[in-house]
Amino acid sequence: MHLKSVILDPSRYPTQDCYPFSVPVFQHTRNITFASPVTFFIGENGSGKSTLLEAMSRACGIHIWREPERTRVNQNPYEGKFHHFLTVQWTDGKVPGSFFGSGIFRHFTQLLDEWAAADPGQLMYYGGKSLITQSHGESFLSFFRNRYRIKGLYLLDEPETALSPRSQLALLEILTETSEAGYAQFVIATHSPILLACPNASIYSFDYNPAKPVRYEDTEHYRIYREFMEDRSKYLKNGAGTDKFK
């Protein structure tokens, strides 16, 4: 592993009342330890997993290829500053890496095409073909297959978004093979029970306060999908209200 741990220190937060510092899990979690080459962050929407992932990226010096922000009403002065209050601990020195987010990937592919116009060799790092000319899911997998051959720390925010179940299995294979080779480490925020099945991966649930490691079979993702497939009628006959999934 390249990244050993991330330490949170709520006593240094500038406020407890504004996002992201107001997220309960950030006020009670002190340490996230990375004991496996693949670590997953899971939790309900709004639990903080993606927020921590982005802050980790900035704290590790990994650029996020996001389009310039537009003018916003009621700008939150604390948004985007969480990384200043994280301490990252490396195993054997800092390594390069990348941040993948399905919502910002299109912007990256457009930038890559601009770079390739001046230096076509840039595309060789991503399969030798423009990512824009491929379907959404195909471009994802082409990026994963080629970028993750390089030694580094890779942070992924819900990579399953544009992937079919079969393509999720392809990504699972990539994660397994590259992490076993020993040069790549992954931290992934996900809702996918397919990806969560990655052998020997660690899973942190942000539905607990503080966040804590859980077994795959104990995740709500595994349990709900299993129960739904075994007997979907109990979820459908009277409507699919969320109370039936508790």
Give 68's pLDDT tier (boundaries 50, 70, 90).
low
Contacts of 211 (CB under 8 A, 6+ apart): 25, 29, 32, 41, 43, 204, 205
What is this structure's pTM?
A: 0.88
Domain borders along the chain are 3-66+79-214
Mean pLDDT, residues 195-204: 97
Q: What is the pLDDT at residue 86?
A: 97
Q: Is pLDDT above 90 for 213?
A: yes
DSSP secondary structure of 14-49: S-SSSTTTT-HHHHH--EEE--SSEEEEE-STTSSH
Q: Is pLDDT above 90 for 60?
A: yes
Q: Is pLDDT above 80 for 71?
A: no
Q: What is the pLDDT at residue 89?
A: 98
Per residue in 114-153, pLDDT tens? 767 877 777 777 777 777 777 777 888 888 888 888 899 9
Helices (H), the chain: 24-28, 49-59, 105-118, 136-147, 165-181, 193-196, 220-230, 233-236
Q: Which CATH architecture has domain 3-66+79-214?
A: 3-Layer(aba) Sandwich (3.40)
